[in-house]
Amino acid sequence: MSQTIVLVGPMGAGKSTIGKLLAGILHLPFSDSDRVIEDRTGADIPWIFDVEGEDGFRQRETAVLKDLLVAEPMVLATGGGIVVREENRELLKGDSIVVYLTASVDQLVERTYKDKKRPLLQVADPQAKIRELIAHRDPLYQEVADIVIQTDRRGPKAVAQEIAQQYQRHSH
């Protein structure tokens, strides 16, 4: 009996990259909640933020999360802010195994600062913004996490293998 594995964590922690590798190791389908939102909307995330604001985006995110958590078991990468809504945290505490991928602020800045597709980082000081987001969200990630994994200076393959091992221990 496999369960859905949900990857949570800040932007740049490697949720999509590690998620795809993990899905391959466990022979599960992979999904990314941001991509599903884009597919359903026919628009990219920055556009949704522009037109509907963060709140409109968060509503779409909750709808997608509800659908994906009742689908067949999979590896699901989520957007960095999925934990800000209490409703989402309650959904995440359900049947799935939640893995919190964490990384130092320096690593996250290094991995994200050039990325124009991250609406929350289009500010004068992305590093300060990342610090602020982590300070606010870390307790929320901790609240929903079954497993916490530090990704600093580790290759995605090694991280995916570690999650697979912990998952197999968890699901027995």
What's the domain range around 65?
5-170
β-sheet bridge partners, residue 147: 99
Closest CA to 91 of 102, 101, 78, 104: 78
CATH for 146: 3.40.50.300
Give Cα 1 to chain centroid, integer Å: 23
d(Cα 103, Cα 74) in Å, to the nearest integer? 24
Q: Which two tokens stand for residue 15?
A: 């949720």
Residue 6: other Cβ atoms inside 10 A:
29
Closest CA to 7 of 106, 139, 141, 112: 141
The pLDDT score that the predictor gives to residue 111 is 75
Q: Which two tokens stand for residue 40?
A: 């359903």
For the chain, what is the domain count?
A: 1
**Strand segments (E) across the chain:** 5-8, 30-32, 75-77, 97-102, 147-150
pLDDT tens, position by position, 79-92: 999 999 999 999 99
d(Cα 51, Cα 25) in Å, to the nearest integer? 38
The pLDDT score that the predictor gives to residue 145 is 97
Q: What are phi and psi of 32, to 5 degrees?
A: -130, 115
The pLDDT score that the predictor gives to residue 1 is 53
The pLDDT score that the predictor gives to residue 128 is 85
- For the chain, the maximum distance between any two Cα atoms, rounded to a whole number of angstroms, is 48
pLDDT tens, position by position, 95-128: 899 999 998 888 888 877 666 666 666 777 878 8
Angle 33-41/45-69 helices, nearest 10 degrees? 110
pLDDT in tens for each of the 172 residues of the chain?
A: 579 999 999 988 899 999 999 999 999 999 999 999 999 999 998 899 899 998 999 999 999 999 999 999 999 999 999 999 999 999 999 989 999 999 888 888 887 766 666 666 677 787 888 888 888 999 999 999 999 999 988 899 999 999 999 988 876 5
Average pLDDT of every residue of the chain: 90
The pLDDT score that the predictor gives to residue 2 is 77
d(Cα 48, Cα 119) in Å, to the nearest integer? 10
The pLDDT score that the predictor gives to residue 115 is 67
